[in-house]
Amino acid sequence: MATLTRQLLWLTTSFLLQAGVVWATQPCLRLTGLVQDYDSRQPVSARLYAQTEVGRLAIGNSTQTGQFMVDVTCETVNLVIECPGYRTQLLHLNTARLPTTRDPVTVIIPLVAVDKQDRDRPYQQTEQTHYEQSRTTGLPGKTAARPQRNLFTINDALSARIIPASVCFVFTSNGQKRCLTTNTAGQVQIDFPKKDIVAFEVSAPGYQTYLGNLTIDEPNGQQREYTVRLTRELTIVSMRLGNPIGSADLRDEATGILVPLTTVAGQPAVMVSNSVFPKTYQLTVRESNQTVRYQQKITLVSGLNVVRADDSMPVTDAIASKPVVVVPRPESLPLLYFEQGSYTLMPDAQTVLRQTAAYLKQNPNTKVRLVGHADREGDERLNQALSENRAKVVSSFLFAQGVADAQMELTGMGSQQLIAPSDTEENKALNRRVQIEFLTTPDR
């Protein structure tokens, strides 16, 4: 009976909204903000839906500038954001945890583009179009195909972090299924013996399941490397920090990593981040002269988190009058990997560097050391130059993002500091890297 009542209420509400009738009760929450392409940061015009236990309703759109304002009721469980060419994004609203305030809550919604259908590259099954492979097997005089070796790396679409995941492959030619678990580098390796369209499913706790296809046209014994980016369950923190402030830091309590915060245009006391995870952070708010106004610990959950900072919060005795620079542990930062013999930045590395640049620009007194490395293949003099060039290209990217030259130190180690043996292609790939080390700036 209760289910039937909810369904009738939903149908009635849907009819009233479609007829242009406003809610009979006041909305529980007003959301404002921006929808943008995660990689390019360009605005996206998207459709927004309120999802409840019994269905969903369209409640608005973001404009050509990506901006939106929508009202949702307390029955709304999730905000759903959809746009052609992008993966569906879902934000759990946690309405029971939200503070009782009529102030609008500002969020920035990142959308990740879908992986389009292409030859010899993974693409999402939603993008599959009609395709027939030619049949060339068994022709007289034709050399038998050699199995294609394939290395799949699974990472977070937003942070580029390596993800422990399960990957299941289904061969459409014979219906066979094989499931693998990623290694410590977030990778699985599998051979495809013949021409085929291979379907695969990648699943990991806290992430949307990725359903993909890969077209194998001409197996030739070579190794192919692919990256599959998973979209995690979105976690956002929106902070209203009271009076205008000088700056604010949000630090991961467990690792020491500082999270990039975005100031909302026209709202200098509002800061937002979608680069957080469900864990505990420490918020530090400073005056314009960099003295600490207050600190507080905040524990985030998956979905929307709203923080209303209170100026009356005491500053603990442990807080010095001068700002304390918290340096993330270098080993907790993601490594930037490169192709063999190359110093071209990969897309995942660029994602990490944009986040690093955002933090360095907010903290101009912080410096980083960029350490380039190479594998042990070939002449060591060339490896030394290659490692230096890898560090230089990272520096150039950060500089283009607005980071000052004075904040960066460069060095190349050649193949002197391997982190994996040179026995397999997989291990060699781990040695082709740049490490970002944060340096403590001494007080003056």
Question: pLDDT at position 132, please?
Answer: 55
Other C-beta atoms lying within 10 Å of the C-beta of residue 394: 28
In a domain, 136, yes or no: no
Task: Print the domain residue range for 209.
Answer: 123-127+146-230
Confidence label for 136 from pLDDT (cuts 50, 70 and 90): low
Q: Do both 99 and 75 map to the same domain? A: yes
User: 3-class SS at 434?
Assistant: strand
CA gap 361, 401 in Å, rounded: 9
Say which residue, 111 or 142, is predicted with more confidence: 111
Other C-beta atoms lying within 10 Å of the C-beta of residue 44: 22
Q: Do both 334 and 431 map to the same domain? A: yes
Question: pLDDT at position 192, please?
Answer: 84
CB 246 within 8 A of CB 286: yes
Tokens standing for residue 229? 């980016």
Q: Do both 226 and 248 map to the same domain? A: no
Q: Do both 427 and 339 map to the same domain? A: yes
In a domain, 317, yes or no: no
Question: What is the number of structural domains in the chain?
Answer: 4
In a domain, 392, yes or no: yes
Q: Note the pLDDT tens digit of each residue in 146-165.
A: 788 889 999 888 777 888 89
Q: Do both 348 and 284 map to the same domain? A: no
CA gap 45, 70 in Å, rounded: 14
Among residues 115, 315, 289, which one has the least CA distance to residue 215? 115
Q: Do both 299 and 348 map to the same domain? A: no
Residue with tokens 């610990």: 297
The answer to whether residue 207 scores a pLDDT higher than 60 is yes
148-156 vs 166-171, strand pairing mode: unpaired
Q: Note the pLDDT tens digit of each residue in 336-382.
A: 999 888 888 887 787 778 878 888 888 888 889 999 999 998 888 88
Q: Identify the CATH number of the domain in which residue 42 sits.
A: 2.60.40.1120
Residue with tokens 């304002």: 69
Question: pLDDT at position 108, please?
Answer: 94
Q: Do both 194 and 261 map to the same domain? A: no
Q: Identify the CATH number of the domain in which residue 364 sits.
A: 3.30.1330.60
Confidence label for 412 from pLDDT (cuts 50, 70 and 90): very high
Confidence label for 63 from pLDDT (cuts 50, 70 and 90): very high
Confidence label for 128 from pLDDT (cuts 50, 70 and 90): low
Tokens standing for residue 317? 């005795």
The answer to whether residue 327 scores a pLDDT higher than 90 is no
Whole-structure pTM value: 0.59
CA distances 267 to 64, 397, 403, Å, are 21, 29, 24
CA gap 246, 273 in Å, rounded: 18
Q: Do both 358 and 433 map to the same domain? A: yes
Q: Can you give the C-alpha Rg of the chain in angstroms?
A: 25
Q: Note the pLDDT tens digit of each residue in 245-275.
A: 667 888 888 878 888 788 777 777 788 998 8
In a domain, 3, yes or no: no
Work out the burial of residue 413: count CB atoms within 10 Å of its CB; fewer than 13 is exposed, 13-18 middle, 19 or more buried: middle
CA gap 153, 183 in Å, rounded: 10
The answer to whether residue 409 scores a pLDDT higher than 70 is yes
Distance of CA 63 to the CA centre of its chain: 23
CA distances 399 to 228, 368, 396, 410, Å, are 28, 12, 5, 13
Tokens standing for residue 154? 């699974």
CB 209 within 8 A of CB 203: yes
Cross-strand partners of 283: 250, 296
Q: Please give the single-letter amino acid code of residue 31.
A: L
Say which residue, 26 or 88, is predicted with more confidence: 88
Question: pLDDT at position 319, please?
Answer: 34
In a domain, 135, yes or no: no
Q: Note the pLDDT tens digit of each residue in 276-325.
A: 888 899 998 887 777 888 888 899 888 999 988 654 444 433 333 333 33
CA gap 444, 438 in Å, rounded: 18
Among residues 193, 144, 185, which one has the least CA distance to residue 164? 185
CB 408 within 8 A of CB 397: no
Q: Do both 65 and 99 map to the same domain? A: yes
Q: Of the segments 91-100, 266-275, 401-410, which one has the largest average pLDDT value?
A: 401-410
The answer to whether residue 416 scores a pLDDT higher than 80 is yes
CA gap 174, 151 in Å, rounded: 22
Question: pLDDT at position 318, please?
Answer: 30
Say which residue, 220 or 417, is predicted with more confidence: 417
* Percentage of the chain lying above the pLDDT 70 cut: 80
Question: pLDDT at position 245, please?
Answer: 65
Domain boundary among 230, 253, 284: 230
- Mean of pLDDT over the chain: 79
In a domain, 369, yes or no: yes
Q: Please give the single-letter amino acid code of residue 47.
A: R
The answer to whether residue 22 scores a pLDDT higher than 50 is no
